[in-house]
Chain A
Amino acid sequence: MLNAVDKKLLEEIADLHGVPQGAYNIRKNGEGISRNTTANIDIVTKKDKPGIDIIIKPGTRGESVHIPVILSKEGLNDVVYNTFEVGENSDVVIVAGCGIHNPGSEKAQHDGIHEFFVRRGARMKYVEKHYGEGNGTGERILNPKTIIEVEENGVVELEMVQIKGVDRTVRDTKVILRENARLIVTERLLTYRSQTADSIITVEMVGEDSSAQIISRSVAQDDSEQVFHLNLRGYKKCRGHIQCDSIIMDNAKVASIPEISAFHSDAQLIHEAAIGKIANDQLVKLMTLGLTEKEAEDTVLKGFLG
């Protein structure tokens, strides 16, 4: 059953106010606690390892699946393998995300390995939010690994957000794009205190006329550290654009390591990266509208992380 802490975590990671509509699977402290399927979306427990298979029938449109994970105990190392089959010509939204409430001194960790097969002509929006809280001194660790194959004419939109409270994360995302497949990635990441975050995104554009756009924005505060490895590889006529912006504050460290590789003369790949403080002209403009310096800073950061 969901207690008050669980409900708060669900609200933070999946904007859920209670049990979601449509298909869902809620995992708590390493176990599935609640599930619902629909005529078009089936959820089946894996037999060989922890995790679920989510099977979306071809042609399913306008439906959503929520698969949040919540951890509210210290000392847990929850590893889960989820596989998504997104049927041809379907159009769905999948909301994942993990929230950790660590009340103790031992670490709480969740490693989610998600594999997606987005079939021909399908469209999938995948929203993944990570959040940590709790008064304990134990670390809150989230390591998502996401592997996506997008077939011909498929469209995938990834929204990956680390809201706050995650002490360590290694986010590893790999996407393969077939002919005319399209990928849009929006990554938002905030770290503070002594948190660390590594984000590795590799996109292989193996299909002709495939395209990828990756927009990564992050804020590093206090003594936190962030490393971004954004890697686009074009094997056919394709277009790819990476835009990686970081705001650095206090004693934080940020590294942005781009890699764009073309294996075809019609591959067009662009990488843009910027790291810097909040621009003074932005703060001054907002202060001339009556905001204090702190309010102006918060407004800039809130807008930047959208």
Chain B
Amino acid sequence: MLRMNGVCVTAVDDSGSKEILNNVTMTLENNKIYVMTGPNGGGKSSIAKVIMGIFQPSGGQIFLDDTDITHMSITERAKLGIGYAFQAPARFKGIRVRDLLKLAAGGAKIDQCQLLYDVGLCAQDYLDREINSTFSGGELKRIEIASILARNLKVAVFDEPEAGIDLWSFQRLTETFEALHRKYDTTIVIISHQERILRLADEVILISDGTVARRTSHEEFLGEISMIDKDCLCKENCIKGGVTNAECSR
């Protein structure tokens, strides 16, 4: 279980400081899929990064089960069982797919071929390839997801995993998340705008203006989106404000 209590993150640059996360408070249970969605720039990826320790909070606390991880490093959090699949995965000259998966697994025995199959890649074609610029964005994304699946995690965060994945492979991707959900007790957090991903959610978390705007079931959320699409010309603003059906129709 992951708990965030009043978490704030402040970004500082030449033009001054800006609060990019503002009092984020939420509890994420084990063995549940949460899909975080919301407008661009609303803070979804920042929440993912503060969970992983890539961003350090300027206020608030984060707990993994009963352990306060607020000031822990990325490495310490990774060792406790938190994982993050990047929206824009890194490329490595000289590191092959098999090397990355082996690093991801730590000392654990894994079936690399099965992992690649699960993300829609043929192991024979990929295991010995360097993770360099010869990979397309979609291929890179799948390898990134495989590197998370290689780890037996307590909390797995996927940042827009569907980006760059072709329509033909989308089904495989959703099946992979479902299988992960069935197999382990992992808290799965997926950042996404895609309806098919939203449908996987036990709970949809709407993130807007750097905080949790609302939490709801995917049925309710998708129903509202459908109404907003139909009745409102300013969909993004409605979502951003957490506007209800009734308010939007008005």
Residues of chain A touching chain B, judged by Cβ–Cβ distance below 8 Å, are 217, 245, 279, 281-282, 284-293, 299-300, 302-306
What 4 additional pairs, Cβ within 8 angstroms, besides A284-B54, A287-B73, A303-B95? A285-B90, A287-B78, A288-B84, A303-B93
C-alpha spacing A303/B100, complex, angstroms: 11
Q: Which of A217, A281, A290, A291 is within 8 Å of B90, CB to CB?
A: A281
Contact B94 A290 (CB under 8 A): no
Answer yes or no: B57 CB below 8 A from chain A CBs: no
How many B residues touch the partner, as a band?
20 to 34
Q: Which of B52, B83, B103, B106 is within 8 Å of A286, CB to CB?
A: B103
A103 to chain B, nearest CB (A): 34
C-alpha spacing A286/B101, complex, angstroms: 11
Contacts of A217 on B, CB cut-off 8 Å? 93-94
Contacts of B151 on A, CB cut-off 8 Å? 289
Q: What are the 3 A-B residue pairs with the smallest beta carbon separation, nearest first?
A: A303-B94, A303-B95, A290-B78
A-B contact pairs, 22 of them (CB 8 A): A217-B94, A279-B90, A281-B86, A281-B88, A282-B90, A284-B54, A284-B74, A285-B90, A286-B103, A288-B74, A288-B83, A288-B84, A289-B78, A289-B106, A289-B151, A290-B78, A290-B79, A299-B103, A303-B92, A303-B93, A303-B99, A305-B94
- How many residue pairs bridge A and B at CB < 8 Å? 58
Contact with A along B170-213 (1 / 0, CB 8 A): 00000000000000000000000000000000000000000000
With both beta carbons as reference points, the residue of chain A lying nearest to B104 in the complex is identified as A289
Assess A299 versus B95: contact at CB under 8 Å? Given A279-B90, A285-B89. yes
Contacts of A300 on B, CB cut-off 8 Å? 92, 94-95
With both beta carbons as reference points, the residue of chain B lying nearest to A292 in the complex is identified as B75
Contact A291 B103 (CB under 8 A): yes
Interface residues of B in 81-123 (CB under 8 A from A): 83-84, 86, 88-95, 99, 103-104, 106
Contacts of A290 on B, CB cut-off 8 Å? 75, 78-79, 106
C-alpha spacing A235/B206, complex, angstroms: 64
* Interface residues of A, dominant DSSP: helix
Contact B103 A289 (CB under 8 A): yes
Contacts of A282 on B, CB cut-off 8 Å? 90-92
Contacts of A291 on B, CB cut-off 8 Å? 75, 78, 103
C-alpha spacing A279/B84, complex, angstroms: 18
Contacts of B92 on A, CB cut-off 8 Å? 282, 300, 303
A43 to chain B, nearest CB (A): 35
Contacts of B104 on A, CB cut-off 8 Å? 289
C-alpha spacing A285/B143, complex, angstroms: 12
C-alpha spacing A305/B95, complex, angstroms: 10
Contacts of B106 on A, CB cut-off 8 Å? 289-290
Answer yes or no: B147 CB below 8 A from chain A CBs: yes
Which of B54, B94, B104 is packed against the most chain A CB atoms within 10 Å? B94
C-alpha spacing A284/B144, complex, angstroms: 13
A300 to chain B, nearest CB (A): 7
With both beta carbons as reference points, the residue of chain A lying nearest to B105 in the complex is identified as A289
C-alpha spacing A196/B235, complex, angstroms: 61
With both beta carbons as reference points, the residue of chain A lying nearest to B52 in the complex is identified as A288
C-alpha spacing A304/B83, complex, angstroms: 25
Contact A304 B75 (CB under 8 A): no
A280 to chain B, nearest CB (A): 9
C-alpha spacing A302/B99, complex, angstroms: 11
C-alpha spacing A293/B54, complex, angstroms: 13
With both beta carbons as reference points, the residue of chain A lying nearest to B81 in the complex is identified as A290
C-alpha spacing A47/B103, complex, angstroms: 54
Contacts of A302 on B, CB cut-off 8 Å? 94
C-alpha spacing A302/B96, complex, angstroms: 12
Contacts of B89 on A, CB cut-off 8 Å? 285
